[in-house]
Structure 1
Amino acid sequence: MTPKPDSAHCHEINVTWGDCDPAMIAYTARLPWFALDAINGWWEAHLDGDGWFQMELDRNVGTPFVRLEMDFTSPVTPRHKLLCYVWPEKLGTSSITFRVDAEQDGKLCFSSRSVSVFTVADKFQKQPAPAEIRAIVEPLIPPQPVTADA
């Protein structure tokens, strides 16, 4: 995966005792929750405080997930804040791809990539990315690295 851009949004999560299993690390199932919470934080930071709840109910824009992938590199514990760096990687006609890199104490713990589609929320029908959202997202997508053909 590509490195995080300087423009990545940092969403801080306080990992607590209740997030952990008997091995004293965060339950595996909590890690996708942390990533999704960070994406919601990204929306709140870029839509004047509106997250998924407001997008769905007030803007009539749904963003259901169609793909989620995660790579784990280091355990998440309650010893340090979990800093989740979030950025959009791609904006399609009707979909958005987000990347989340989560770090504790300067060490990468997991990387996540998710794809959501835009819907008319009250009809659950696919729609193109709304113009207001496209205008916010497009400037924040980092340039893709150029690769040489083999």
Structure 2
Amino acid sequence: MGSPPDSAFAHDIRVTWGDCDPAKIAYTGRLPWFALDAINAWWERHLGGDGWFQMELDRNMGTPFVRIEMDFKRPVTPRHVLRCYVWPIRLGETSITFQVDAYQDGKLGFTGKFTNVFTVADQFRKQRPPEDIRALIEPLIAQAGA
């Protein structure tokens, strides 16, 4: 497995004691949450502060998940910052797939692919991504070499 592309967005997460189970590692269910937090931060960064909340309410654009794949490589703990690298790897006719690779202390903790479908939020009807979103994402996919 290679490193994230230079164009990947980095989002740091402070894993805390409350994120952990009695085995002293992050609850399995927290790992997708960490990845989703990083994807939301990616949207905020690229849309001038607008994350999923603003996209849904202000743009009437939903992006519900239709597929999540994750591979766990090593335990995630509160010992080090969890740095999640996020980048789009595919833009379909009505969907987008993000790659998230999460590292602690320079070691890969988990990796995943997260696919969303674009919807008209108030109708929960599938739609093509708006042109401004397509124009934002296509060059980033090309830069990542996907």
TM-score, length of structure 1 as denominator length: 0.94
In the TM superposition, 1:97-136 aligns within 5 A as: 97-136=97-136
Q: Structure 1 counterpart of 2:36, which letter?
A: L
Q: Which residue of the partner structure matches residue 63 of structure 2?
A: 63
Task: Identify the residue that residue 83 of structure 1 maps to in structure 2.
Answer: 83
Q: Provide Cα deviations, 1:81-113, integer angstroms capped at 9, x if missing partner.
A: 000000000001110000000000000000010
Instruction: Quote the RMSD (CA, aligned, Å).
Output: 0.9
In structure 2, distance between residues paired with 1:28 and 1:143: 30
Could you tell me which residue of structure 2 aligns to residue 148 of structure 1?
none
Q: Which aligned runs of 4 or more in structure 1 are off by greater than 2 angstroms? A: none
- Equivalent runs, 1:11-30 vs 2, <5 Å: 11-30=11-30
| Structure (1/2) with the larger helix percentage | 2
> 1:143 Cα shift?
2.0
Q: Which residue does 2:95 correspond to in 1?
A: 95
Offset at residue 4 of structure 1 (A) = 1.5
Letter in 1 for 2:59: R
In 2, the alpha carbon distance for the partners of 1:123 and 1:39 equals 23
CA deviations on 1:29-75 (whole Å, 9 max, x unpaired) are 00000000000000000000000000000000000000001000010
Change in 2 beyond 3 A, CA 1:90/1:2: farther
Match of 1:143 in 2: 145
Identical aligned residues as a percent: 71
Deviation at 1:121, TM superposition (A): 0.3
Q: The residue matched to 1:98 in structure 2 has which SS?
A: strand
CA distance in 1, matches of 2:113, 2:75: 18
Q: Quick one: distance in 1 between partners of 2:18 and 2:97?
A: 30
Q: What does residue 50 of structure 1 align with?
A: 50
How far 1:2 sits from its partner (Å)?
5.4
Gaps of 5+ in 1: 145-150
Distance 1:81 1:143 in 2: 27
* TM-score normalised according to structure 2 size: 0.96
| 5+ long unaligned stretches in structure 2 | none
Which AA in structure 2 matches 1:84?
C
